[in-house]
């Protein structure tokens, strides 16, 4: 069972004037739209770096916490952000790392996402569930006031899919922490650095045929990473966002074939789409599990053919974010 425990020696956990003043100051900053000191965990990843840019552009003070803080200075989107070392899978590295921050944004993503490599400790359970539990515990200890968690549409502790189950447990940890929270559940995110749609773009450039795993229609609502980032930034501007689980995706409900055809149209290319039965795709990718960083695995095939639907009604009402259509989003960066 996950339990949050405060540091017994931390004066912020004892109440008193100092704690009260800090809470009142934070609430005043939010109401005035002022700068908030935010720890962005996982900020060098595909989604995290765009969130960092959106928060910086909104005037917040952002420090990226991660395993390789030196990387922050090499990412253009994170120009202006601070950097510090912390690893959500190592509780010792988190001790004291969140002291002095008003808010935490958890955008940690499994390395080699979405392919697990269990022999190297790269699993959804370790990063999404236990990593988030570790981070939430430290946030409570540090007196953090607000917590944003990047989850995923479909997260559920009862799911038979390990990635949904891990995120479901992570959401529960956030909800039980006592910290004001926003849980954002994106549908199928895409953008300049994603590892899914860009694979199809690669095939479109080098091959007359594009393989697509699965023969049954798969329904998703592609959402540009900048819209996900905007939703996170908007949360800090709107008191009504807190305490909610919000799903985000575009208004378009598309099959993967429609997604790839849209991609080809934007790239001004014509290619043959070749559906690959799931069983055959799993068989073909099984040997890749032996590689240090497999580009695809049978589990990755399962991930790739799942539906990704989101009910965006509440998100639009609360955050006012209207995600761009796929063609418009692709045109921003696809050439």
Give the single-character DSSP code of 208. S
Using CA atoms, how far apart are residues 68 and 52, in angstroms rounded to an integer?
A: 16
Give the separation between CA 78 and CA 55, rounded to whole angstroms: 10
- Tell me the three state secondary structure of residue 102: coil
Question: Does an H or E element contain 294, and which?
Answer: none
Instruction: Find the helix or strand (DSSP H, E) in which 246 lies.
Output: strand 244-248
Residues ≥6 apart with Cβ < 8 Å to 193: 46, 49, 225
Q: From CA 40, how far away is CA 106, in angstroms rounded?
A: 6
pLDDT digits (tens, 9 = 90+) for 252-270: 999 999 999 999 999 999 9
E strands, 57-134, in order: 61-66, 82-85, 103-106
d(C-alpha 303, C-alpha 73), whole Å: 32
Residues in the chain: 335
Q: Looking at 268-325, list the stretches that DSSP marks H as alpha helix, in order from N- to C-terminal side.
A: 278-285, 298-304, 313-319
Q: Tell me the percentage of the chain whose pLDDT exceeds 70.
A: 90
Name the pLDDT band for 33 (thresholds 50, 70, 90).
Answer: low
pLDDT on residue 28: 53
DSSP 8-state symbol, 117: B
Q: Report CA-CA distances (Å) from 237 to 107, 141, 224, 324.
A: 19, 25, 21, 21
Whether the pLDDT of residue 114 is over 80: the answer is: yes
Segment 203-234, tens digit of pLDDT: 999 999 999 998 888 899 999 999 999 999 99
Residue 158 CB neighbours (<10 A) = 7
How do residues 292-329 score in pLDDT, each as one tens digit? Answer: 889 899 988 988 899 999 999 999 999 999 999 999 99
Which pLDDT score, from 0 to 100, does residue 269 have?
96
Helix-then-strand count for the chain, H and E: 13, 13
pLDDT the model gives residue 5? 43
Tens-digit pLDDT profile for residues 43-53: 999 999 999 99
pLDDT tens digit sequence for 235-257? 999 999 999 999 999 999 999 99
With 0-12 CB in 10 A as exposed, 13-18 as middle and 19+ as buried, what is 309?
middle
How far apart are alpha carbons 294 and 227 in whole angstroms? 29
Enter the DSSP assignment of 129.
I
The secondary structure of residue 172, as a DSSP letter, is H
Confirm if 329 and 225 have CB atoms less than 8 A apart.
no
The structural domains of the chain, ordered by start, are: 11-187+223-249+310-323 (3.40.50.720)
């Amino acid at each position: 069972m996950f339990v949050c425990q405060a540091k017994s020696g931390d004066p912020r956990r004892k109440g008193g004037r100092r704690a009260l003043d800090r809470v009142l100051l934070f609430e005043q900053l939010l109401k005035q739209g002022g700068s908030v000191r935010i720890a962005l965990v996982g900020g060098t990843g595909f989604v995290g770096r765009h969130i960092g840019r959106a928060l910086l552009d909104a005037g917040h003070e952002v420090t990226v916490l991660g395993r390789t803080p030196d990387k922050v200075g090499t990412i253009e989107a994170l120009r202006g952000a601070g950097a510090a070392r912390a690893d959500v899978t190592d509780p010792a590295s988190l001790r004291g790392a969140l002291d002095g921050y008003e808010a935490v944004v958890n955008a940690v993503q499994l390395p080699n996402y979405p392919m697990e490599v269990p022999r190297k400790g790269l699993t959804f359970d370790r990063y999404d569930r236990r990593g988030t539990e570790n981070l939430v515990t430290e946030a409570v200890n540090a007196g953090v006031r607000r917590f944003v968690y990047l989850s995923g549409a479909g997260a559920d502790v009862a799911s038979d899919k390990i990635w949904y189950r891990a995120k479901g447990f992570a959401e529960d940890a956030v909800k039980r922490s006592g910290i004001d929270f926003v849980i954002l559940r994106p549908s199928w995110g895409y953008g300049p650095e994603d590892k899914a749609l860009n694979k199809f773009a690669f095939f479109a450039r080098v091959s007359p045929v594009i393989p697509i795993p699965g023969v049954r229609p798969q329904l998703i609502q592609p959402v540009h990473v900048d819209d996900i980032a905007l939703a996170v930034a908007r949360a800090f501007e709107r008191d009504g966002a807190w305490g909610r689980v919000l799903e985000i995706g575009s208004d378009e409900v598309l099959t993967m074939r429609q997604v790839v055809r849209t991609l080809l149209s934007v790239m001004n290319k014509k290619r043959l789409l070749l559906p690959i039965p799931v069983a055959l795709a799993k068989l073909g990718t099984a040997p890749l599990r032996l590689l240090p960083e497999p580009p695809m695995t049978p589990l990755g095939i399962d991930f790739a053919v799942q539906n990704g639907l989101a009910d965006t009604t509440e998100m639009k009402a609360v955050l006012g974010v209207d995600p761009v259509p796929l063609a418009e989003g692709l045109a921003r960066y696809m050439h």
